[in-house]
Chain A
Amino acid sequence: MIGHSETFHDRRSAAVSRSAFTLSLVVVAGLMVPVAARAQDADAGKTVFKQICSICHEVAPGRNRIGPTLFGIAGRKSGSVEGYNYSDGNKGANLTWDAATLDRYLANPRGVVPGTKMAYGGLKDDQKRRDLIGYLGTLK
Protein backbone atom coordinates (compact mmCIF):
# COMPACT_ATOMS: atom_id res chain seq x y z
CA MET A 1 0.00 0.00 0.00
CA ILE A 2 2.78 2.35 1.01
CA GLY A 3 4.84 1.36 -2.03
CA HIS A 4 1.86 1.91 -4.27
CA SER A 5 1.31 5.31 -2.65
CA GLU A 6 4.95 6.30 -3.14
CA THR A 7 4.76 5.35 -6.79
CA PHE A 8 1.66 7.42 -7.16
CA HIS A 9 3.35 10.40 -5.48
CA ASP A 10 6.42 9.95 -7.66
CA ARG A 11 4.26 9.98 -10.76
CA ARG A 12 2.37 13.02 -9.51
CA SER A 13 5.63 14.83 -8.69
CA ALA A 14 6.96 14.06 -12.13
CA ALA A 15 3.73 15.32 -13.65
CA VAL A 16 3.90 18.49 -11.58
CA SER A 17 7.52 19.03 -12.65
CA ARG A 18 6.59 18.54 -16.30
CA SER A 19 3.71 21.01 -15.89
CA ALA A 20 5.97 23.52 -14.19
CA PHE A 21 8.53 23.15 -16.98
CA THR A 22 5.84 23.55 -19.62
CA LEU A 23 4.47 26.57 -17.78
CA SER A 24 7.95 28.07 -17.64
CA LEU A 25 8.29 27.62 -21.38
CA VAL A 26 4.94 29.29 -21.94
CA VAL A 27 5.92 32.19 -19.66
CA VAL A 28 9.29 32.59 -21.38
CA ALA A 29 7.65 32.43 -24.79
CA GLY A 30 5.07 34.95 -23.61
CA LEU A 31 7.81 37.32 -22.52
CA MET A 32 9.50 36.98 -25.88
CA VAL A 33 6.40 37.95 -27.84
CA PRO A 34 6.35 41.57 -26.62
CA VAL A 35 10.09 41.75 -27.26
CA ALA A 36 9.43 40.72 -30.85
CA ALA A 37 6.61 43.33 -31.06
CA ARG A 38 8.82 46.20 -29.96
CA ALA A 39 9.79 47.25 -33.45
CA GLN A 40 8.27 50.50 -34.66
CA ASP A 41 4.93 50.15 -36.38
CA ALA A 42 4.27 53.34 -38.31
CA ASP A 43 0.68 52.33 -39.10
CA ALA A 44 -0.05 51.86 -35.41
CA GLY A 45 1.73 55.15 -34.82
CA LYS A 46 -0.60 56.87 -37.24
CA THR A 47 -3.51 55.69 -35.12
CA VAL A 48 -1.81 57.04 -32.00
CA PHE A 49 -1.30 60.34 -33.81
CA LYS A 50 -4.95 60.54 -34.82
CA GLN A 51 -6.17 59.75 -31.34
CA ILE A 52 -3.83 61.92 -29.31
CA CYS A 53 -1.85 64.44 -31.33
CA SER A 54 -4.23 65.49 -34.09
CA ILE A 55 -6.36 67.57 -31.72
CA CYS A 56 -3.53 70.13 -31.89
CA HIS A 57 -1.24 69.15 -34.77
CA GLU A 58 -1.47 68.76 -38.55
CA VAL A 59 0.94 66.70 -40.63
CA ALA A 60 0.65 68.70 -43.86
CA PRO A 61 3.51 71.08 -44.65
CA GLY A 62 2.96 74.67 -43.52
CA ARG A 63 -0.25 73.97 -41.61
CA ASN A 64 0.18 75.10 -38.06
CA ARG A 65 -2.74 74.78 -35.67
CA ILE A 66 -2.63 74.94 -31.87
CA GLY A 67 0.75 73.31 -32.26
CA PRO A 68 3.20 73.50 -35.18
CA THR A 69 2.92 71.17 -38.16
CA LEU A 70 4.70 67.87 -37.59
CA PHE A 71 5.64 67.54 -41.24
CA GLY A 72 9.37 67.05 -41.48
CA ILE A 73 9.83 66.86 -37.74
CA ALA A 74 12.44 64.09 -37.89
CA GLY A 75 15.84 65.77 -37.86
CA ARG A 76 14.37 69.25 -37.40
CA LYS A 77 15.67 71.79 -34.88
CA SER A 78 13.31 72.58 -32.03
CA GLY A 79 11.37 75.83 -32.28
CA SER A 80 12.06 76.22 -35.99
CA VAL A 81 8.75 75.94 -37.85
CA GLU A 82 8.11 79.15 -39.73
CA GLY A 83 4.99 81.03 -38.75
CA TYR A 84 4.48 79.27 -35.44
CA ASN A 85 4.66 81.23 -32.22
CA TYR A 86 6.71 79.02 -29.90
CA SER A 87 7.11 79.35 -26.16
CA ASP A 88 10.39 80.78 -24.94
CA GLY A 89 11.17 77.34 -23.52
CA ASN A 90 10.91 75.74 -26.93
CA LYS A 91 12.78 78.55 -28.70
CA GLY A 92 15.69 78.13 -26.35
CA ALA A 93 15.70 74.34 -26.10
CA ASN A 94 18.23 73.88 -28.91
CA LEU A 95 17.27 70.26 -29.56
CA THR A 96 17.27 68.20 -32.71
CA TRP A 97 14.22 65.99 -33.02
CA ASP A 98 15.82 62.63 -33.60
CA ALA A 99 14.27 59.38 -32.34
CA ALA A 100 15.98 59.52 -28.96
CA THR A 101 15.05 63.15 -28.27
CA LEU A 102 11.48 62.63 -29.43
CA ASP A 103 11.23 59.58 -27.20
CA ARG A 104 12.26 61.55 -24.13
CA TYR A 105 10.12 64.55 -25.05
CA LEU A 106 6.99 62.59 -25.82
CA ALA A 107 7.32 60.71 -22.54
CA ASN A 108 7.63 63.91 -20.52
CA PRO A 109 7.37 67.14 -22.53
CA ARG A 110 7.70 69.56 -19.65
CA GLY A 111 10.60 67.59 -18.22
CA VAL A 112 12.62 67.90 -21.43
CA VAL A 113 11.52 71.40 -22.43
CA PRO A 114 10.67 73.39 -19.31
CA GLY A 115 8.22 76.13 -20.15
CA THR A 116 6.80 74.42 -23.22
CA LYS A 117 3.20 75.41 -23.76
CA MET A 118 2.33 71.96 -25.06
CA ALA A 119 -0.30 71.06 -22.48
CA TYR A 120 0.24 67.33 -22.68
CA GLY A 121 1.31 65.14 -19.80
CA GLY A 122 3.24 62.63 -21.88
CA LEU A 123 2.76 59.33 -23.67
CA LYS A 124 3.80 56.79 -21.05
CA ASP A 125 3.28 53.64 -23.12
CA ASP A 126 6.71 52.72 -24.56
CA GLN A 127 5.35 50.81 -27.52
CA LYS A 128 2.89 53.52 -28.53
CA ARG A 129 5.69 56.05 -28.28
CA ARG A 130 7.92 53.96 -30.52
CA ASP A 131 5.12 53.52 -33.02
CA LEU A 132 4.35 57.22 -32.99
CA ILE A 133 8.00 58.09 -33.59
CA GLY A 134 8.00 55.58 -36.43
CA TYR A 135 5.03 57.38 -37.97
CA LEU A 136 6.51 60.83 -37.43
CA GLY A 137 9.59 59.62 -39.30
CA THR A 138 7.46 59.03 -42.39
CA LEU A 139 6.31 62.66 -42.53
CA LYS A 140 8.71 64.01 -45.10
Chain B
Amino acid sequence: MQPIRATLTTMLLLSTALLGGAGGVARAQALPGPTDIPSSILLSHNSDIDRLTQLTHRAGPLGVAAEKALDLLKRHHRREVEYILPPLTLVPALASGKASPEMRWAIDMSDKVKANREEIFQEHVAITEVMTALRVEAQKVDDLDAAEFAEDAVADSVADMEIQEPTSVLVGEILRARLGIAK
Protein backbone atom coordinates (compact mmCIF):
# COMPACT_ATOMS: atom_id res chain seq x y z
CA MET B 1 0.00 0.00 0.00
CA GLN B 2 2.75 2.42 0.95
CA PRO B 3 4.71 2.35 -2.31
CA ILE B 4 1.50 2.80 -4.32
CA ARG B 5 0.45 5.70 -2.14
CA ALA B 6 3.90 7.30 -2.36
CA THR B 7 4.01 6.95 -6.15
CA LEU B 8 0.53 8.36 -6.59
CA THR B 9 1.28 11.20 -4.23
CA THR B 10 4.41 12.06 -6.22
CA MET B 11 2.42 11.93 -9.48
CA LEU B 12 -0.23 14.16 -7.95
CA LEU B 13 2.36 16.67 -6.78
CA LEU B 14 4.11 16.69 -10.15
CA SER B 15 0.91 17.15 -12.13
CA THR B 16 -0.21 19.90 -9.78
CA ALA B 17 3.13 21.63 -10.20
CA LEU B 18 2.87 21.34 -13.99
CA LEU B 19 -0.68 22.66 -14.03
CA GLY B 20 0.44 25.46 -11.77
CA GLY B 21 2.36 26.94 -14.70
CA ALA B 22 -0.86 27.59 -16.62
CA GLY B 23 -1.41 31.04 -15.14
CA GLY B 24 -2.66 32.84 -12.05
CA VAL B 25 -6.33 32.97 -13.00
CA ALA B 26 -6.52 29.28 -13.83
CA ARG B 27 -4.74 28.42 -10.59
CA ALA B 28 -7.18 30.46 -8.56
CA GLN B 29 -10.14 28.70 -10.16
CA ALA B 30 -8.60 25.29 -9.61
CA LEU B 31 -7.94 25.76 -5.90
CA PRO B 32 -9.10 22.76 -3.90
CA GLY B 33 -11.91 23.30 -1.43
CA PRO B 34 -12.77 21.95 2.03
CA THR B 35 -14.47 18.87 0.65
CA ASP B 36 -11.54 17.84 -1.55
CA ILE B 37 -8.94 15.30 -0.55
CA PRO B 38 -5.80 14.20 -2.41
CA SER B 39 -6.96 11.75 -5.06
CA SER B 40 -4.02 9.42 -4.39
CA ILE B 41 -5.17 8.98 -0.80
CA LEU B 42 -8.78 8.51 -1.87
CA LEU B 43 -7.59 5.74 -4.17
CA SER B 44 -5.63 4.17 -1.33
CA HIS B 45 -8.64 4.37 1.01
CA ASN B 46 -10.88 2.70 -1.54
CA SER B 47 -8.34 -0.03 -2.14
CA ASP B 48 -8.02 -0.72 1.60
CA ILE B 49 -11.77 -0.86 2.08
CA ASP B 50 -12.18 -3.20 -0.90
CA ARG B 51 -9.48 -5.56 0.34
CA LEU B 52 -10.79 -5.56 3.88
CA THR B 53 -14.35 -6.09 2.71
CA GLN B 54 -13.15 -9.17 0.85
CA LEU B 55 -11.53 -10.42 4.05
CA THR B 56 -14.84 -10.11 5.91
CA HIS B 57 -16.11 -12.92 3.67
CA ARG B 58 -13.53 -15.33 5.10
CA ALA B 59 -15.04 -18.03 7.30
CA GLY B 60 -14.83 -18.09 11.09
CA PRO B 61 -12.84 -15.83 13.42
CA LEU B 62 -10.81 -14.35 10.55
CA GLY B 63 -13.95 -12.95 8.94
CA VAL B 64 -15.16 -11.65 12.30
CA ALA B 65 -11.80 -9.96 12.96
CA ALA B 66 -11.93 -8.41 9.49
CA GLU B 67 -15.41 -7.01 10.17
CA LYS B 68 -14.18 -5.31 13.34
CA ALA B 69 -11.20 -3.89 11.47
CA LEU B 70 -13.44 -2.69 8.65
CA ASP B 71 -15.75 -0.82 11.02
CA LEU B 72 -12.85 0.95 12.65
CA LEU B 73 -11.04 1.76 9.41
CA LYS B 74 -14.20 3.27 7.93
CA ARG B 75 -14.63 5.41 11.04
CA HIS B 76 -11.02 6.57 10.80
CA HIS B 77 -11.39 7.36 7.10
CA ARG B 78 -14.50 9.44 7.84
CA ARG B 79 -12.49 11.49 10.31
CA GLU B 80 -9.64 11.89 7.81
CA VAL B 81 -12.01 13.01 5.05
CA GLU B 82 -13.79 15.40 7.41
CA TYR B 83 -10.78 17.46 8.48
CA ILE B 84 -7.35 15.79 8.28
CA LEU B 85 -6.97 15.33 4.54
CA PRO B 86 -8.52 18.42 2.93
CA PRO B 87 -5.69 20.73 4.10
CA LEU B 88 -3.23 18.40 2.36
CA THR B 89 -4.68 19.35 -1.01
CA LEU B 90 -3.05 22.74 -0.51
CA VAL B 91 0.44 21.35 0.03
CA PRO B 92 1.49 21.64 -3.65
CA ALA B 93 0.40 25.28 -3.81
CA LEU B 94 2.05 26.09 -0.48
CA ALA B 95 5.23 24.33 -1.60
CA SER B 96 5.26 26.62 -4.62
CA GLY B 97 5.23 29.61 -2.30
CA LYS B 98 1.57 30.50 -2.81
CA ALA B 99 -1.13 31.36 -0.32
CA SER B 100 -4.44 33.11 -0.78
CA PRO B 101 -7.41 34.08 1.41
CA GLU B 102 -9.45 31.38 -0.39
CA MET B 103 -7.35 28.85 1.49
CA ARG B 104 -8.42 30.05 4.92
CA TRP B 105 -10.88 27.18 5.32
CA ALA B 106 -7.91 24.89 5.92
CA ILE B 107 -6.85 26.71 9.07
CA ASP B 108 -9.86 25.59 11.09
CA MET B 109 -9.37 22.01 9.97
CA SER B 110 -5.70 22.15 10.77
CA ASP B 111 -6.48 23.50 14.24
CA LYS B 112 -8.92 20.65 14.74
CA VAL B 113 -6.22 18.10 13.91
CA LYS B 114 -3.98 19.75 16.47
CA ALA B 115 -6.69 19.87 19.13
CA ASN B 116 -7.72 16.25 18.57
CA ARG B 117 -4.22 14.83 18.33
CA GLU B 118 -4.55 12.57 21.37
CA GLU B 119 -7.98 11.34 20.30
CA ILE B 120 -6.62 10.58 16.84
CA PHE B 121 -3.67 8.79 18.40
CA GLN B 122 -6.03 6.61 20.41
CA GLU B 123 -7.80 5.73 17.18
CA HIS B 124 -4.46 4.57 15.79
CA VAL B 125 -3.98 2.49 18.93
CA ALA B 126 -7.34 0.86 18.25
CA ILE B 127 -6.36 0.27 14.62
CA THR B 128 -3.17 -1.46 15.75
CA GLU B 129 -5.21 -3.67 18.06
CA VAL B 130 -7.77 -4.77 15.46
CA MET B 131 -5.09 -5.32 12.83
CA THR B 132 -3.02 -7.34 15.29
CA ALA B 133 -6.07 -9.48 16.02
CA LEU B 134 -6.70 -9.87 12.29
CA ARG B 135 -3.10 -10.97 11.75
CA VAL B 136 -3.27 -13.49 14.58
CA GLU B 137 -6.37 -15.09 13.03
CA ALA B 138 -4.79 -14.96 9.58
CA GLN B 139 -1.68 -16.75 10.80
CA LYS B 140 -3.76 -19.47 12.43
CA VAL B 141 -5.13 -20.43 9.00
CA ASP B 142 -2.02 -19.53 6.98
CA ASP B 143 -3.81 -16.72 5.19
CA LEU B 144 -0.82 -14.72 3.97
CA ASP B 145 -2.95 -12.18 2.12
CA ALA B 146 -4.87 -11.25 5.26
CA ALA B 147 -1.72 -11.17 7.40
CA GLU B 148 0.00 -8.93 4.88
CA PHE B 149 -2.97 -6.59 4.75
CA ALA B 150 -2.92 -6.24 8.54
CA GLU B 151 0.82 -5.47 8.56
CA ASP B 152 0.45 -2.90 5.79
CA ALA B 153 -2.49 -1.28 7.57
CA VAL B 154 -0.43 -0.81 10.73
CA ALA B 155 2.40 0.69 8.68
CA ASP B 156 -0.08 3.05 7.03
CA SER B 157 -1.43 4.01 10.42
CA VAL B 158 2.05 4.95 11.58
CA ALA B 159 2.63 6.90 8.36
CA ASP B 160 -0.52 8.86 9.14
CA MET B 161 0.89 9.78 12.55
CA GLU B 162 4.40 10.51 11.31
CA ILE B 163 3.58 12.43 8.15
CA GLN B 164 -0.05 13.01 7.26
CA GLU B 165 -1.36 14.50 10.50
CA PRO B 166 1.68 16.71 11.25
CA THR B 167 1.57 17.95 7.64
CA SER B 168 -2.07 18.86 8.07
CA VAL B 169 -1.11 20.89 11.14
CA LEU B 170 1.74 22.54 9.24
CA VAL B 171 -0.62 23.68 6.49
CA GLY B 172 -2.51 25.74 9.04
CA GLU B 173 0.67 27.18 10.51
CA ILE B 174 2.01 28.17 7.08
CA LEU B 175 -1.28 29.73 6.03
CA ARG B 176 -1.45 31.74 9.22
CA ALA B 177 2.09 33.01 8.71
CA ARG B 178 1.62 33.86 5.03
CA LEU B 179 -1.81 35.42 5.38
CA GLY B 180 -0.86 37.30 8.51
CA ILE B 181 -3.53 35.71 10.68
CA ALA B 182 -2.91 35.73 14.42
CA LYS B 183 -3.46 32.56 16.46
Measured CB to CB, the residues of A under 8 A from B are 51-52, 55-56, 66, 110, 117, 119-121
Contacts and interface: CB of A to CB of B under 8 A. Distances in A.
A66 B158 contact: yes
Contacts of A52: 132
A55 B131 contact: yes
B175 interface: no
Interface of A is mostly: loop
B5 to A, nearest CB: 15
B161 A119 contact: yes
Contacts of B155: 66
Interface of B is mostly: helix
Nearest to B158: A66
Select the residue from A56, A119, A121 with max chain B CB neighbours within 10 A: A119
Which 4 pairs of residues, A with B, have the shortest CB-CB distance? A119-B124, A119-B128, A121-B125, A119-B125
A52 B90 CA distance: 38
Interface in B128-171: 128-129, 131-132, 135-136, 150-151, 154-155, 157-158, 161-162
Contacts of A66: 154-155, 158
A117 B162 contact: yes
Interface of B: 121, 124-129, 131-132, 135-136, 150-151, 154-155, 157-158, 161-162
Nearest to A54: B135
A119 B151 contact: no
Contacts of A117: 158, 161-162
A49 B6 CA distance: 30
Nearest to B161: A117
Select the residue from B127, B129, B132, B162 with max chain A CB neighbours within 10 A: B132
A120 B128 contact: yes
A119 B132 contact: no
